[in-house]
A and B are shown apart, each in its own frame.
Chain A
């Protein structure tokens, strides 16, 4: 399944020296264009600052000041990106704002030479250029890059590499922070109670656990009808297998299984006893006995208290799981 996802997704797998394969999401042209625009504004800002300094310093030595200004202009024009990407570990200020970073295709940091090459070759990626004169505005100094070459090349490879990236084997990846959401909270205490009715010797396979996690983490976004529709496919055969009443909510059953799989497995103890030859149906302790009798103690811990939750400052992603 993972392989199929990688085909249609923009994920790139990287193997680290620690021999771990992890996924990066490749940054697309829109995000990179935004970063480029921010960098452009910063570049103009720096140029304006240097211009002011030149004007001040020019009172003393005009020629030298303008020489400095022109050299600064040249460096900013061609080496702004290269300098920042080398000294800021693959990021320019614009890239940092957008949360993207340049890496080699092997996931390694780029070196100075790669940073220089990919930035010098941007002048090919921005071809063909239009000039304002084509629109009848007499301003030969101002040209409009169309970035068509870069876009076409980006569309032809899996990593969204422009020509400059292809040449020095780099790619731009997203580096976003994600909040640790932990185990999904179940809003219905009945799910937990239902978990007790599930056969204690039922083993939840790996794929079933994954399907359950996918469902329960997302069910918060679904309407009631949609939940019923989705949960039916897995719920129906399971109800039959467990011999539970037909009118049991499928959604609730999946939640109960999820609870069993990820949070608290009351069946562990029972299964151990089955293996040791004891009857699983004997009353092992008071709680189970009460559960079997259908009386639930008021002191039963709510699922919320047991599960991993986030610290209060956790952000919007965590709130959505609730």
Chain B
């Protein structure tokens, strides 16, 4: 059979396959109808076969190129991205993440780095002898002034409108910092820098506000108690997951760097997901409860309860199980 004849015979099939590709673009597969879908699949397989035999048919190169493109387009319409599956994400968040975090050296290391820097910075800012200017240098005097200004008055609630706005701001702002910590961890240095900077800054703010001669101090502590556990855990968690990413291409455990990186990313992203949930909870508490006029014991109870929940999450759900009990 001559090529021209063959092309004439196939042309109709190919053009029809092309039409289907056009039709399916940006639509759900089901909208095409069962008969058309099976027709589409048959046409696709036929085009695949034509491409496979192109060499022995001696098709001209431009037709072969056309077939490559056509098969590529049809392939992408047939094999489609899978959607988010909420239940499986929930299982990952509730069972896999805590177990992974429990054993994750990077998260533990980041925990130590973050809290070590935090406590050191707080001590330096608190003490007037060790490094008298530390608080001013770390926080800048403008920041100190605005901190003192903000917490000048006892916390007595504010209009609910402002609560909503601030909750939105905390979600946007804090979660973005967490995500940046995570992404920056891939290159190790930026991630460490963001984390250390945040730890030092927060530590200095706590240390300075805890000084007995700072009038706004009690109000400040009153404000931060309730949302502290969630927020600080979330930042440690995102930085730890980021560090895990960065370490994965430095220490590959026998895999290629690329394989190690992609395997780790699939494990680390859910940890970041858990951190995002915590950021969200912290933002809600920070937006609505922390600035409210509720007495201190309520806020302290919330802090204790949320710490308890985190303990439960990371220790009870996270304790390593025998493989027979392991989920997934």
A residues within 8 Å of B by Cβ? 14, 16-20, 22-24, 61-64, 66-71, 73-74, 77-78, 85-90, 96, 101, 103, 107-113, 115-117, 120-124, 127, 149, 163, 166-169, 173, 175-184, 206, 209-210, 213-214, 217, 261-265, 306-308, 321
CB distance from B302 to the nearest CB of A (A): 20
Asked, given contacts A20-B52, A120-B183, whether A175 binds B63 with beta carbons under 8 Å apart, the answer is no
Q: Which residues of A contact B143 (CB under 8 A)?
A: none
Contact B71 A22 (CB under 8 A): yes
Interface residues of B in 179-223 (CB under 8 A from A): 179-180, 182-184, 186-187, 190
Contact A308 B66 (CB under 8 A): no
Query: What are 7 inter-chain pairs, A to B, with CB distance below 8 A?
Result: A20-B71, A22-B68, A90-B76, A120-B269, A184-B60, A206-B58, A262-B4
Complex alpha-carbon distance, A117 and B14, angstroms: 36
Interface residues of B in 1-54 (CB under 8 A from A): 2-4, 7-8, 11, 14-15, 18, 26, 44-45, 48-49, 51-52
Contact A178 B4 (CB under 8 A): no
Contact A264 B4 (CB under 8 A): yes
Q: Which residues of A contact B71 (CB under 8 A)?
A: 16, 20, 22
Contact A74 B164 (CB under 8 A): no
Asked, given contacts A86-B81, A167-B262, whether A63 binds B171 with beta carbons under 8 Å apart, the answer is no
Contact B81 A109 (CB under 8 A): yes
Mask of B147-189 contacts with A, CB within 8 angstroms, 1/0: 0000000000001111111011101100110011011101100
- Interface size of B by CB at 8 A reads 71
Q: Which residues of A contact B265 (CB under 8 A)?
A: 117, 167-168
Shortest beta-carbon contacts, A-B, top 7: A63-B164, A70-B168, A63-B161, A67-B168, A213-B60, A74-B172, A109-B81
B100 an interface residue at 8 Å Cβ cutoff? Answer: no
Nearest opposing residue in chain B for A77, CB measure: B176
Contact A217 B164 (CB under 8 A): no
Task: Among B2, B175, B258, point to the contact of A166 (Cβ < 8 A).
Answer: B258
Complex alpha-carbon distance, A24 and B258, angstroms: 21
* Given contact pairs A22-B71, A89-B76, a sample of 4 additional A-B residue pairs in the complex whose CB atoms are under 8 Å apart: A17-B79, A66-B164, A120-B182, A168-B266
Contact A90 B81 (CB under 8 A): yes
Contact A66 B165 (CB under 8 A): yes
Asked, given contacts A74-B175, A112-B83, A124-B190, whether A210 binds B61 with beta carbons under 8 Å apart, the answer is yes
B245 an interface residue at 8 Å Cβ cutoff? Answer: yes
CB distance from B285 to the nearest CB of A (A): 15
Contact B51 A22 (CB under 8 A): yes
CB distance from A93 to the nearest CB of B (A): 10
Contact A181 B66 (CB under 8 A): yes
B272 an interface residue at 8 Å Cβ cutoff? Answer: yes
Complex alpha-carbon distance, A30 and B35, angstroms: 41
